Structure 1
């Protein structure tokens, strides 16, 4: 490793870029150059590492300080990895954090995992001279890359947390890339600098806010995660506006997506894990072999056609739980049976959803109609009576976006460690 710290971080960036290119994630030459030029350590000067295992309450963390010699190597490895970087607990101020162990609290801001950032920027085809809006911009990694690609003074971020706004703006100013970060509700976009050629949402939403579509310029592209109630089965929605003003939207199933907007509650199988292991349920024959993990078009449809389900990826065999109905299904292993428990036959619903998906032609993408004057948005796999169709949840059904209060555990356990 080079002794000069600047050479060391440059080498880390080069290794990261080479890895992304080798894995087939990074294909755009301009974005490759931007990644090599951007000193991400300026934007990510610290990082939380979770110490506790799943289900721990309160959670134990360790804060890495990139400026501290004992933390530096681990911090450099982390911020140049493919992992999300955890930056803020419970909306805390970010100008006086203390390195070392911390107990309590939940993460309220993080930097997106790098392959996700790269994919998003490539899908949007951001280029020189284009106005760019980032919604839920966090520490500003995507913003900085977008500014390198588009040019100075064309890139705007909207972030709800005042502490994160100040933190990101200060670090972005140090880079001199010409970016503005606005404190506000990402669901409103930012009318002051509209229209935008490219809009990217770093938060998942159940449907597309009207303001986002209205602020999209002709020939514009808008990219967001459509959050379902299960973190297992998200969708990626690409909205385009033609030169004549027509809006088109295509939804694709994805293995990962952005965390949902504040107030949108994911389901979790964690509270049922011990009970499922103790009593998997009653065995019965099934006509459905466990669908493969990469059948993203099916799993996305299942999130809507059989709502309220979540998969436990820590289980030995495919386990699907309906936590609000105290029901679950445990498939396999490969013997033509499934075990079910509870008042809701979870596996029968998946069997029905899979049969409908096959009858529709095993679609991998769906069209979303954003033109309904009532604001209701519909998804469909195509024309004909066998098409899969569903209605997206409206934003008004989601709880109000209120900041998470700091837990008593996090207030009493925050101490600086040398």
Structure 2
């Protein structure tokens, strides 16, 4: 790499670390040092940029090649930004990708935006000497950061896609961080190197796979996103195995989470946007003002107890859609009314759930019982008859990698 580019990327890493620190996201000194040292351009040598607008099919993309002079500035801006980096369409081989415009396909691998990566690694409390397992590492950015903190030979990733496994391992080897990526089913963890002090899942799952818990060492921590059919209200689950060996799990709502494991079809409000704009629905009084976006405990409960809903965050007024029921609700601008349309009264369900949430004490976190092993995993806001409770969906029906 030419000297001027090395200097440029070093400055960009410093700017990135300073930005994350100023925003209150980056607080761990070891992780900051890792961000400053690791040349992420080695792990993200290309990136797709979407050209088509929402709803286009097929989708038009443009591939930025970091080695191409015409792409270099935009590529460097992107890989040091707080955006997700799109890397692979439809499980394609990752060698000699065509530079420039391409059409069709859907993204099957990406690098998570940096603030989420930083928050996750800080949440698990990663430190030197920890045995670390990354589930679904993609190109290996978070795995490389973890290896830089734990020390060489202690960080392992399990990736289902063979092309991405080879791509990530080759680039990690060039960095010399001592991290290993193996091809396999991330839902099975990686028993050969278990137990692990820290496990981080870069994929959202409907419930916690039993092997993940079994492979967690005493004193260990496991962090994952619990995925539902809605992308609007993700939940972050932190599992801790105490030094005595018991398992504790706490679920919290978050503003963002990881994409679900392959096989989950996310709901979308996009197909109803034009219809809602043309006819928001009939107005009726409501006792529920639009709950704030940061009422994460309520919205997380809604993902499970009012299932099948998705929010259109681009709408001017709070708009909640039930796509499968062809129904929606548009909250008024604080005038005590809501507009509803369709056979399902979406807003009435949220009114009822909000009342239950308040009766339960407005919980912001929930306890998850994982002690049943392969049995049902139950979530509760606490004890008593007014507690909010639900059961997590099973893993059954999720496609698994071919042997």
Give the TM-score range, shorter chain: over 0.9
Query: Paired residue for 2:192?
Result: 192
Residue in 2 that maps onto 1:102: 102
Give 1:334 deviation, angstroms: 1.3
For 1:115 and 1:53, locate their aligned partners in 2 and report how far apart those are by CA, in whole Å.
Answer: 25
Segments of structure 1 that go 5 or more residues without pairing to the other structure are: 404-418
Which stretch has the larger CA shift, 367-376 or 317-326?
367-376
TM-score by length of 2: 0.98
CA offsets 1:208-241 (integer angstroms, 9 cap, x no match):
0000000000000000000121101000000000
Equivalent residue for 1:55? 55
Please list, as runs of the form range in 1=range in 2, the aligned pairs for 1:98-247 lying within 5 A after superposition: 98-247=98-247
Work out whether residues 298 and 362 of structure 2, in 8 Å CA contact, stay in contact via their aligned partners in 1. Answer: yes
Displacement of 1:179 after TM fit?
1.1
Whether the 8 Å contact between 1:262 and 1:402 is mirrored in structure 2 is no
Q: Distance in 2 between matches of 1:24 and 1:116?
A: 12
Aligned positions of 1:51-90 closer than 5 A? 51-90=51-90
Secondary structure of the residue aligned to 1:98 is: coil
The 8 Å contact of residues 235 and 251 in structure 1, kept in 2 or not, is answered as yes
Matched, 1:400 2:396: no
How big is the shift at 1:276? 1.2
Instruction: Report the CA distance between 1:280 and its aligned residue.
Output: 1.1
Q: Secondary structure at the match of 1:395?
A: coil
1:291 aligns with 2:291: yes
Q: Greater relative contact order: 1 or 2 (C-alpha under 8 angstroms, separation 6 or more)?
A: 1
1:401 positional shift: 3.7
1: CA distance between counterparts of 2:224 and 2:192?
Answer: 21
| CA distance in 2: counterparts of 1:137 and 1:375, whole angstroms | 28
1:342-379 deviation per Cα after TM superposition (whole angstroms, max 9, x unaligned): 11110000001100111111111000000124520000
CA contact (8 A) 2:204 2:259 kept: yes
Is contact 2:197-2:218 (8 Å) kept?
A: yes
Paired position in structure 2 for 1:411:
none
Task: Please show how residues 360-379 of structure 1 align to structure 2 within 5 Å.
Answer: 360-379=360-379
Alignment-derived partner of residue 318 in structure 2: 318
Give secondary structure in 2 for the equivalent of 1:356.
helix
1:337 equivalent to 2:322? Answer no
| Residues in 1 aligned to 2:41 and 2:201: alpha-carbon distance in whole angstroms | 23
1:399 CA drift (Å): 3.5
Query: Does structure 2 retain, via aligned residues, the 8 Å contact 1:290–1:331?
Result: yes
> What is aligned with 2:21?
21
Distance in 1 between the 2:71 and 2:90 partners?
A: 23
- Displacement of 1:27 in angstroms is 0.3
Instruction: For residues 135-169 of structure 1, give each alpha carbon's deviation from its aligned partner in whole angstroms, at most 9, with x where no partner exists.
Output: 00100001101111000111100000000000000
Equivalent position SS for 1:4: helix
Report the Cα distance in structure 2 between the residues aligned to 1:139 and 1:400, rounded to whole angstroms.
Answer: 22
- Measured after TM superposition, the shift of residue 36 of structure 1 is 0.4
Q: 2:7 matched to which residue of 1? A: 7
